[in-house]
Structure 1
Amino acid sequence: MYSTINMSQIFVLDQDKARDFYVDVLGLEVSNDLDLGFMRWLTVCVPGTKGRDVLLEKPGPPGMDAKSADMVRELVTKGATGFTLGLTTDNIQKTYETLKARGVEFTQEPTTQSYGTDIGIRDPFGNNIRIVQLAETMGKPPASRSSAANAKSRR
Structure 2
Amino acid sequence: MISSMDNMKPNAMIKTMLEFNNKALILGHRVGTLLWRELKEGGKAKEDNEELKEKYVGIESELENLKGHIIKKHINDFTKGLRQWTFFCKEVDATDSKYDVNKDVIDGRLVDEDDLSAEQMEEMSTTSGRVLVAEEDVTMQVETDPTTN
Bin of the TM-score, shorter chain as denominator length: under 0.3
Q: Scaled by the length of structure 2, what TM-score is found?
A: 0.23
Q: Counting strand residues as a fraction of each chain, which structure ranks higher?
A: 1
The answer to which structure, 1 or 2, has the higher relative contact order (CA under 8 A, 6+ apart) is: 1
Q: Scaled by the length of structure 1, what TM-score is found?
A: 0.22
Q: Counting helix residues as a fraction of each chain, which structure ranks higher?
A: 2
